[in-house]
Amino acid sequence: MDSSEVWKNCIGAISNLIEEADFEIEEDGMEMKAMDPSHVALADFKLSSAAFTEYEVDKPTKLGVDLTEMDKIFSRANKNDESTLEYTEEDNRLKLEFIGASTRRFSLPLLELEEEELPEPDLNFTATAKVTAGTIREGLKDAALVGDNVRFELTKGKFLMKIESDTGSAEMELSEEDEGLKDLNVDEPTKAMYNIGYLEDMFKAARSKDIVEINHGEDLPIQIIFKMADGEGILKFLLAPRVETE
């Protein structure tokens, strides 16, 4: 994934969940960390300076961004455009430039955002899987036929997404020989239920063939990790489980 595509996909996914957030620009890279308004999902997006062709920071800065507007701009980038982000204190705007068949420049006013206390849960995951994003997306679409929440179950050799209701049931099973499952490590079997809509938004960050890491524990939040730009970029989502009353 080249750099415009990283931004396009990651901001695309995050902006479905979170409207505004601060980007912390440091000398060695930048980070955006925020919760969705209903405090169910936490996003943590990091790009190290090495993920950029050129990266220059005069002094650490915090930039409050309307992610919906930023997403609209990145969705105008073409696949092979060379993209630049720039901020100068004078005009207090974020400037974006895409160079391709023409040179296109956008600017975005910055926001004063209130500090938000973000939870830093210490989670004891007992199972880890590496899966292709496309496979999980298919499983989510299947599950959406039946209801709003899908249960993940990770056991030795088996990755399961399932949902049951009065109108039917859907289940996706990945075994170690399936090409959608790249790796599976289960210390203790896990089971928990999550909202399908949130998961669908998160998985927009990746292309179908991209490999995604899922960390899981019994009734714990699910952690979903997208790596990009040869590991110099990372997008982590944490999504709280639903109580299993459905």
193 binds a copy of itself (CB under 8 A): no
Residue 73 phi, psi (nearest 5)? -70, -45
State the minimum distance, in angstroms, from the CB of residue 233 to a copy of itself: 25
> Is residue 145 close enough to count as binding a copy of itself by CB under 8 A?
yes
Q: From CA 27, how far away is CA 186, in angstroms rounded? A: 38
Closest CB to a copy of itself among residues 41, 65: 65
The yes or no reply on residue 156 touching a copy of itself (CB under 8 A) is: no
Work out whether 84 is an interface residue with a copy of itself (CB under 8 A): no
Give how far Cα 31 sits from Cα of 46, 48, 125, 175, 217, Å: 4, 8, 24, 35, 26
With contact defined as beta carbons under 8 Å apart, do 18 and 65 qualify? no
Secondary structure of residue 80 in the 3-state scheme: coil
How many whole angstroms separate alpha carbon 28 and alpha carbon 38? 32
Q: Is 49 in the site for a copy of itself (CB under 8 A)?
A: no
In whole angstroms, give the CA distance from residue 102 to residue 77: 11
Residue type, 177: E
By C-alpha distance, which of 54, 71, 82, 84 is closest to 13? 71
Asked if residue 174 binds a copy of itself (CB under 8 A), the reply is yes
Residue from 131, 132, 130, 138 nearest 209 by CA: 132
Nearer to a copy of itself, 102 or 245 (CB): 102
Q: How far is the CB of 240 from a copy of itself (least distance, A)?
A: 26
When asked if residue 166 is in the footprint of a copy of itself (CB under 8 A), the reply is yes
Q: How many residues bind a copy of itself (CB under 8 A)?
A: 36
Binding mask 95-124 for a copy of itself (x = CB under 8 A): ------xxxxxxxxx---------------
- The residues binding a copy of itself (CB under 8 A) are 69, 72-73, 76, 93, 101-109, 132, 134-135, 138-139, 141-142, 145, 166-175, 178-181
